[in-house]
Amino acid sequence: MSSAGAPPGLCSALSALAGEPLAGSAADARGWVALEQPGAWGAKAFKASDLDPATGKALDSAASKHGLRPVLIRRPGRTAGAGRDGARRVLVAHSLPGRTWLLGGWVADPAAVLDLDWAAIASGDVDAVRASLPGLVVEEAPHLLVCANGKRDACCAVVGRPVAAAAAETHPDRVWETTHLGGHRFAPTAVTLPSGWTFGRLTPENAGPTLEDVAAGVVDLEGARGRSVWPGPAQVAELAVRRELDARGVDDVTAVVRADTDVRGEWVVSLHDGRRWQVSVERRATGASRPESCGKKAALVEPYVANGLVELSADPT
């Protein structure tokens, strides 16, 4: 999949040209907290936007402390502002397979989000989270957050914003621009909540269908960067097994854990039907180079890759 629409010289175009794989590049987060913040964003948006910097710093710190990913969001379009009576939308997601949930609500004061039970978000205790911020309700359909912060990286604005705008035409209530998902060179990039499934090199034509697929319980394996609940090497292991089996269900894989072995880079991937696979994952030099983001010097492409898959006996449980 190429980075459609990226002008030559941008990091996303150079990454695609270098053949850098998407697998294993998603952020590592058990859950997500997204706060609507209309207007311009700086490179470090929690400290450089119209959001009170003290509130932004506290939100960033609280989420990160609990293994969560905090982001700011806004509606696609340059004139998009806050919602009803200036209130801001809040989305809170837990992303572990088989127990995902997404809550949504409104806050009049962004600082109210600090009242969230952050530990409960990480553990998946939806009732405790709702009790900590009354007004949150269950969101039945997934949302798509497209990285679009041009101050962080030019690619996110140049190729990310058109993708967000196109997807919003058919899903206006479930598509957002967001501040930072990591991996600018894979732009246009987006995450679906609550699952944490992250995609790269999207196009205006396939972004909406990608959201529809996830809503139907299906993952586009070609465009997948990984599921955010696992670290990068585990994301590679999961995607290797899924491609081997053509397993496209959102929650087909229930766990990815380090193998009980002295050999580094061994992962065990468990599927919902009890099957298990052991996958060897290693870094591999490709000989190609590209900048990690726009404005940086070129660096070697050394992705995590799956080096072998072995089917294990089924989990007796």
Residue in this structure with the two tokens 């990286």, named with its chain if needed: 153
Are the beta carbons of 105 and 117 closer than 8 angstroms? Answer: no
Q: What is the structure's pLDDT at 1?
A: 43
Query: 1-230 falls under which CATH superfamily?
Result: Glutaredoxin (3.40.30.10)
Residues 165-194: pLDDT tens digits?
A: 999 999 999 999 999 999 999 999 999 999
Average confidence (pLDDT) over 278-307: 91
Whole-angstrom distance, CA of residue 66 vs CA of residue 86: 29
Q: What gap in Å lies between CA 107 and CA 4, rounded to an integer?
A: 37
Please state the φ and ψ torsions of residue 93, each to the nearest 5 degrees.
-130, 145
CA-wise closest residue to 232 among 264, 200, 265, 201 = 265
Strands 68-74 and 31-36: parallel
CB-based burial, 291-300: b 16+ in 10 Å, e otherwise: bbbbeeeeee
- The pTM of this model reads 0.94
- Of 105, 168, 164, give the one whose Cα is nearest residue 133: 105
Average pLDDT of the chain to the nearest whole number: 93
- Domain residue ranges of the chain, discontinuous segments joined by +: 1-230
As a whole number of angstroms, the distance between CA 125 and CA 53 comes to 29
Mean pLDDT to the nearest integer, 97-105: 98
Helix (H, G, I), strand (E, B) or coil at 287: coil
Extract the tokens encoding 7: 């002008």
What lies within 8 Å, CB to CB, of 111 at 6+ separation is: 52, 55, 58
Other beta carbons within 10 angstroms of residue 160's beta carbon come to 30
Percent pLDDT > 90 in the chain is 83
pLDDT interval class at 103 (50, 70, 90): very high
Find the helix or strand (DSSP H, E) in which 266 lies. strand 266-271
pLDDT tens digit sequence for 198-236: 999 999 999 999 999 999 999 999 999 999 999 999 999
Mean pLDDT across 270-277: 97
pLDDT of residue 210: 98
**Residue 72 has which token pair?**
């700011």
Short-list 251, 257, 226, CA closest to 26: 226
The pLDDT value given to residue 153: 85
Q: What is the largest CA-CA distance in the chain?
A: 58
